[in-house]
Amino acid sequence: MITVSNARKQYGTFTALDDVSVEIPRGSLTALLGPSGSGKSTLLRSIAGLEGLDSGVVTIAGRDVTKEPPQRRGIGFVFQHYAAFKHMTVRDNVAFGLSIRKRPKAEIARKVDDLLEIVGLEGFQHRYPAQLSGGQRQRMALARALAVDPEVLLLDEPFGALDAKVRADLRTWLRRLHDEVHVTTVLVTHDQEEALDVSDRIAVLNRGRIEQVGDPVTLYDRPANDFVMGFLGSVATLGDQLVRPHDIVLTRDRAVALAEDAKVPGSPGVIEAVVERVVRLGFEVRVELRADSGERFAAQITRRDAFDLELHTGETVFARAAHRSSVIEIDPALAI
């Protein structure tokens, strides 16, 4: 487990960390999620010892490491732009931490083979970093960080510089890797989809403070406040309630909408709306709508449903919440 207690960090008059306390359970994959400048990297770097705190305490596996230098904290660290040794092969890069610790040659060879297999770079051991793709280089970085059996793995936007498709693949891969090696991992990201996808816990940061910590489902369905709600995904106001756009069902027939809605106790009701725009987003379609009240909102439906509904600008539809649990409840009791 990692604990950070009452961490404060100022840069001149700017407060980067404002009394932050968080616990990161052993073996978890926890994301630090927040907009640019919210203090995610500062918090991660404080855990790593790359940044000194003005006040506060950091413990790793029960040990107070607040005053310890990074090399004595038992951490592995991967940055967005990984600084590989250009003149060394993949194999030597991964072996680096073990070689400087003077581990026996046979042990290093075995360990590096295992790690290269885990990160899927078996065939690449004799290549140089310049001969790898960006995604392969980041996987090599992870293998190198894991080589010394760190107590915790700290990842600062490790896939940030890669294109969307590679990022998505590496995310899935990171999740599988974590399930295999179970090392306590902290991942900094500003991408809510990435956090929801890979982590089992998310700490949402905003202006140097933690707004909420919890599992992805709780944060998504029961945000502690408007900030968390908006940052975790888009929301639509239906009647006087909040729902996610993909939890809105559209119907052309008012009677059908009313009959279905009657089965959803406490629902926002059926809202009559005019289609303003239909936007294709690959598999999904975003339907931008204007209600009778003048309120604008968007529904996200499948291509199939959009096709069946034959939606066109200017037409009238009836919107309702898909089910009771699709109404988002802000729960201030979950705030930090």
Ligand X SMILES: Nc1ncnc2c1ncn2[C@@H]1O[C@H](COP(=O)(O)OP(=O)(O)OP(=O)(O)O)[C@@H](O)[C@H]1O
Helix pair 134-146, 105-118: axis angle to 10 deg: 140
The Cα 148–Cα 151 span in angstroms is: 9
Nearer residue to ligand X within complex by CB, 32 or 142: 32
- How far does Cα 68 stand from its chain's mean position? 28
Q: Does 42 bind ligand X (CB under 6 A)?
A: yes
47 scored as a contact of ligand X (CB under 6 A): no
Residue among 25 and 52 whose Cβ is closer to ligand X: 52
Span 134-193, contacts to ligand X by CB under 6 A: 190
Question: Do 170 and 139 form a contact (C-beta atoms < 8 A)?
Answer: yes
Query: Dmax of the chain from CA atoms?
Result: 76
Q: Which one of the spans 34-42, 100-108, 256-264, 277-285 is the region binding ligand X (CB under 6 A)?
A: 34-42
Choose one: 30-38, 53-61, 135-143, 247-255; the region binding ligand X (CB under 6 A). Answer: 30-38
Nearer to ligand X, 17 or 108 (CB): 17
Tell me the C-alpha distance between 184 and 145, whole Å. 13
CB of 275 to ligand X, least distance (A): 37
Residue 37 in the binding site for ligand X (CB under 6 A) = yes
Cβ contacts of 122 within 8 Å, gap of 6 or more: 113, 116
Q: How far apart are CA 137 and CA 84, in angstroms?
A: 8
Q: Position 86: which residue type?
A: K
Q: Are strands 63-64 and 201-206 parallel, antiparallel or unpaired?
A: unpaired
Residue among 219, 227, 186, 224 nearest 34 (CA): 227
Name the residue nearer to ligand X (CB basis): 16 or 146: 16
20, 27 Cβ separation under 8 angstroms: no
Instruction: Rule CB under 6 A: say whether 34 interacts with ligand X.
Output: yes
Part of the chain binding ligand X (CB under 6 A), chosen from 40-48, 86-94, 220-228, 297-305: 40-48
Q: Does residue 24 sit in helix, strand or coil? A: strand
Rounded to the nearest whole angstrom, what is the least distance from the CB of residue 80 to ligand X in the complex? 9
Q: Can you tell me which of 2, 20, 39, 224 binds ligand X, judged by CB under 6 A?
A: 39
**Comparison of 228 and 270: residue with beta carbon closer to ligand X:** 228
Which tokens belong to 72? 């004595």
> How many residues sit in the footprint of ligand X (CB under 6 A)?
12
- Rounded Cα distance between 75 and 67, Å, is 15
Q: Does 16 bind ligand X (CB under 6 A)?
A: yes
Calpha distance 223→253 (Å, rounded): 33
- Taking CB under 6 A as the rule, does residue 11 contact ligand X? yes
41 binds ligand X (CB under 6 A): yes
Q: Tell me the window of 11-19, 168-176, 287-295, 327-335 that interacts with ligand X (CB under 6 A).
A: 11-19
- Exactly one of 28, 30, 38, 184 binds ligand X (CB under 6 A); that residue is 38
Q: Is 13 among the residues that bind ligand X (CB under 6 A)?
A: no
In the complex with ligand X, which residue's Cβ is closer, 20 or 242? 20
Q: Which residues bind ligand X (CB under 6 A)?
A: 11, 14, 16, 34, 36-42, 190
